Amino acid sequence: MTIAVKWCGIDFGQCLMNPGALRNHLVIGDIYKELGKPELIPEGIERYHNMKDKYGTYSTIKEGHKDEILTYVLEGDQEAMNIFLDKEQEHLKAAEGVEEALEYLKGEGITLCIVAEMKKTLGPIGTDVVSRFLKNKGLIHYFNKMVTPQGSVDLKDGSVDDRYKGRTKESGALYDLLVGDLQKEGIEPRDAVMVGDKIKTDIEPPAQRGFKTIQFTGYFDWGASRADYRISDFFQLMTIVKGKKDA
């Protein structure tokens, strides 16, 4: 059985983006070596581990608390933060099968969007971790928009829809607004699918609003859910999802 849809939303952290590289604390060492301050490496690594203990996963830190990497881990050193951003992008990788799946879905006529629980204020495209990643990996052209609680960004022209500000995935408020916007484009919730790993943000809220859902378990399996399907890599999307044509 396949899912026929017109729209597909994909989560970023621990889903589209391989979080393995985020555990690499050696990037902190690289920063201080480049700054000529190797004596600061042990304390910097310890503060980085403290943040992980506080927030649970490194992808949570990167997606929603990157400002604390500057203020806490790097003690407000903006030069160190600039190096961090460059080093980070060198280490980040896309999930297995992502580009092949995106090419397939686009070929099926499905509109693709990133739906991320970003907590940092948005800047120009390429300055936040998500759009910067998409640009660096050559994936940004597959997506129309990046929908976040900081605004919905048109990835074609860079315009920001501020109506989404403060609306989170977990509360469902982001999906409430998204439903209305999709309906204006002739897309009902039943014609849309959300792909993500977290039950409380990617599966339950959209499912309650009529979206089809696919739980991604490639990096973390958060347990049983009401998702229509479970996948462990993006190659599987090509056997599950197809484009829905108007009658």
Structure tokens at 238: 């090509």
Residues 85 and 195 in one domain: no
* pLDDT one digit per residue (tens) for the chain, 247 residues: 799 999 999 999 889 988 765 556 778 888 999 999 999 999 999 998 899 899 887 767 766 787 888 899 999 999 998 888 787 777 788 999 999 999 999 999 999 999 998 866 556 655 787 888 899 899 999 999 999 999 999 999 999 999 999 999 999 999 999 999 999 999 999 999 999 999 999 999 999 999 999 999 998 899 999 999 999 999 999 999 999 988 6
- Of 58, 91, 124, the last residue of a domain is 91
Residue 66, SS3 per DSSP: helix
Residues 68 and 152 in one domain: no
Residues 122 and 71 in one domain: no
Residues 112 and 185 in one domain: yes
Domain that holds residue 146: 3-16+95-243
Nearest-angstrom CA–CA distance, 215 and 123: 30
Residues 75 and 127 in one domain: no
The model's pTM: 0.82
Nearest-angstrom CA–CA distance, 127 and 120: 11
Where would I find the H helices in the chain? 26-34, 41-55, 58-64, 66-68, 78-91, 98-107, 129-136, 173-184, 204-208, 237-240
Q: Which of 247, 183, 209, 243 is nearest to 6 (CA)?
A: 243
- Of 63, 91, 119, the last residue of a domain is 91
What CATH number did the domain enclosing 121 receive?
Answer: 3.40.50.1000
Nearest-angstrom CA–CA distance, 84 and 64: 16
Residues 84 and 69 in one domain: yes
Residues 12 and 27 in one domain: no
